[in-house]
């Protein structure tokens, strides 16, 4: 069995745009007709540029190869151009192909991917969601992100659905981060935690999400104001380049530190673990290098008593890959979901992701357990120029 053909789907995500402006899917087909679907997650380049990169890697390293030779593929692509270092754009391309190859392999053996990763450990997976605007557009209706009263109202809606963990990020992030948080920023963050704790009580964990906005001292100052509300985690309090600084934050707060969505490969996660910078790792499978790379990181984390909470601000194929991985990992903590995987997001896959009362139920179908609705995907091409996720460029927020 050899990989023969590639098709790339750049799918526009219509309002409410939960999960991003667009999704990049890759479809591989073997010479005996088995297909596999993967997803590429890169936020630094346009979708048009990413398509060219994907096709270039396919022609050089993927076409004509055995889909079971995952390690060989990873090493050859990772070392192309004699770079051999973590590059989130390159590892995102690797991940897209690697996920599709796992999907092919599972179908060839008539087994879910988790059975090829050591077997299913968890029958169901606890999930959390961001607080998203009700009936609005994620990029337009922003009150839920910055108004604690609106956030508390939305939290009640999610509690009724069955969620037992909710994430929120009340501080804007930008290209001039890290910065010292203003008193207004810290007050708003504390009010978010206060009002959400009031409505959630002990029914749901609070996940304080940030994206490296703060200096080390600023993160410590903010953490001390949030400790009274006992969040399950303080996410990426400082930028990803210097885990040594994040480790200083971890030593100064009782809130567990989570990080990882912007890290690439086991090598960057190794530094986080050795420095004790975080004990909750949030690998983005479609950026970090794929399912096997994530499994290796999870195994490393297990030796430090660290847990994993796979990141998801991407499409339903990465969501399916997260589920396969999480089902096979003993040190799994919680899974990010895009609400309950409904709407256009859920319609993109024919075998729906099963979400019940706060939990995702892993599929017993072979491969990733989902099939892309190719007709729907082709009917919604992304033609815009904006990146998947755009930060604030003004140095004053």
Assess whether 311 carries a catalytic annotation. Answer: yes
Q: What is the CATH number of the domain that holds 136?
A: 3.20.20.120
Residues 67 and 211 in one domain: no
Q: What is the pLDDT along the chain (397 residues), one digit of tens a residue?
A: 999 999 999 999 999 999 999 999 999 999 999 999 999 998 899 999 999 999 999 999 999 999 999 999 999 999 999 988 999 999 999 999 999 999 999 999 999 999 999 999 999 999 999 999 998 888 888 899 999 999 999 999 999 999 999 999 999 888 999 999 999 999 999 999 999 999 999 999 999 999 999 999 999 999 999 999 999 999 999 999 999 999 999 999 999 999 999 999 999 999 999 999 999 999 999 999 999 999 999 999 999 999 999 999 999 999 999 999 999 999 999 999 999 999 999 999 999 999 999 999 999 999 999 999 999 999 999 999 999 988 776 655 5
Q: Reduce the secondary structure of the chain to three states and give it as a string.
A: CCEEEEEEEEEECCCCCCCCCEEEEEEEEECCCCEEEEEECCCCCCHHHHHHHHHHHHHHHHCCCCCCCHHHHHHHHHCHHHCCCCCHHHHHHHHHHHHHHHHHHHHHHCCEHHHHCCCCCCCCEEEEEECCCCCCCCCCCCHHHHCHHHHHHHHHHHHHHCCCEEEECCCCCECCCCECCCHHHHHHHHHHHHHHHHHHCCCCEEEECCCCCECHHHHHHHHHHHHHHCCCEEECCCCCCCHHHHHHHHHCCCCCEEECCCCCHHHHHHHHHHCCCCCEECCCHHHHCCHHHHHHHHHHHHCCCCEECCCCCCCHHHHHHHHHHHHCCCCECCEECCCCCCHHHHHCECCCCEEECCEEECCCCCECCCCECHHHHHCCECCCCCCCCCCECCCCC
Phi and psi torsions of 27, nearest 5°: -115, 120
Residues 212 and 357 in one domain: yes
Looking at the domain assignment, is residue 231 inside a domain? yes
Residues 193 and 44 in one domain: no
Looking at the domain assignment, is residue 387 inside a domain? no
Looking at the domain assignment, is residue 384 inside a domain? no
Number of domains in the chain: 2
Query: Which structural domain range is residue 213 located in?
Result: 115-368
Cα 244 to Cα 274: distance, rounded to the nearest angstrom: 10
pLDDT digits (tens, 9 = 90+) for 124-179: 999 999 999 998 888 888 899 999 999 999 999 999 999 999 999 999 888 999 99
Residue where a domain terminates, one of 53, 75, 110: 110
- Catalytic-labelled residue, pool 122, 211, 279, 388: 211
Residues 57 and 194 in one domain: no
Cα 55 to Cα 69: distance, rounded to the nearest angstrom: 19
Looking at the domain assignment, is residue 262 inside a domain? yes
Looking at the domain assignment, is residue 389 inside a domain? no
The torsion region of residue 348 among left (phi > 0), alpha (psi -120 to 50) and beta comes to alpha
Assess whether 211 carries a catalytic annotation. Answer: yes
Judge contact between 318 and 348, C-beta under 8 A: no
Looking at the domain assignment, is residue 267 inside a domain? yes
- Catalytic-labelled residue, pool 61, 122, 279, 311: 311
Cα 327 to Cα 203: distance, rounded to the nearest angstrom: 24
Taking residue 390's Cβ as centre, other Cβ atoms within 10 Å add up to 11
Torsion of CA 277, 278, 279, 281, to 10 degrees: -130
Taking residue 2's Cβ as centre, other Cβ atoms within 10 Å add up to 11
In Å, how far are 60, 191, 260, 268 from 210, measured between CA atoms?
38, 16, 12, 19
């Amino acid at each position: 069995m050899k990989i023969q053909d590639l098709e790339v789907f750049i799918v526009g995500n219509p309002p409410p745009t939960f999960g991003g402006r667009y999704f990049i899917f890759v479809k591989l087909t073997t010479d005996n007709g088995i297909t596999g679907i993967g997803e590429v997650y890169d936020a630094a380049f346009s979708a048009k540029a990413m398509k060219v990169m994907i096709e270039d890697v396919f022609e050089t390293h993927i076409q004509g190869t055995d889909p079971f030779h995952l390690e060989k593929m990873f090493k050859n692509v990772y070392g192309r151009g004699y770079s051999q270092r973590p590059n989130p754009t390159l590892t995102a391309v690797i991940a897209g192909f690697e996920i599709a190859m796992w999907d092919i392999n599972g179908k060839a053996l008539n087994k879910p991917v988790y059975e090829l990763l050591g077997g299913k450990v968890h029958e169901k997976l606890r999930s959390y969601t961001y607080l998203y605007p009700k009936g609005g557009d994620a990029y337009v209706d922003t009150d839920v992100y910055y108004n604690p009263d609106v956030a508390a109202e939305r939290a009640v809606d999610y509690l009724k659905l069955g969620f037992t963990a909710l994430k929120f990020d009340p501080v804007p992030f930008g290209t001039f981060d890290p910065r010292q948080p203003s008193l207004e920023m810290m007050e708003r963050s504390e009010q978010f935690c206060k009002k959400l704790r009031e409505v959630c009580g002990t029914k749901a964990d609070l996940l304080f999400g940030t994206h490296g906005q703060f200096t080390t001292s600023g993160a410590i100052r903010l953490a001390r104001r949030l400790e009274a509300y006992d969040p399950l985690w303080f996410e990426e309090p400082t930028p990803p380049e210097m885990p040594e600084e994040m480790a200083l934050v971890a030593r100064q707060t009782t809130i567990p530190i989570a990080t990882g969505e912007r890290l690439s490969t086991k090598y960057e996660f190794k530094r986080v673990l050795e420095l004790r910078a975080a004990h909750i790792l949030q690998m983005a499978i479609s950026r970090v290098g794929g399912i096997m790379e994530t499994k290796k990181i999870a195994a490393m984390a297990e030796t430090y008593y660290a847990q994993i909470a796979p990141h998801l601000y991407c499409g339903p194929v990465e969501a399916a890959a997260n589920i396969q991985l999480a089902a096979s990992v003993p040190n799994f903590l919680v899974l990010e979901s895009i609400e309950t995987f409904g709407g256009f997001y859920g319609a993109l896959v024919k075998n729906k992701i099963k979400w019940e009362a706060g939990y995702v139920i892993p599929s017993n179908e072979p491969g990733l357990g989902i099939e892309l609705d190719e007709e729907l995907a082709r009917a919604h091409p992304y033609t815009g120029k904006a990146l998947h996720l755009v930060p604030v460029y003004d140095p004053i927020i």
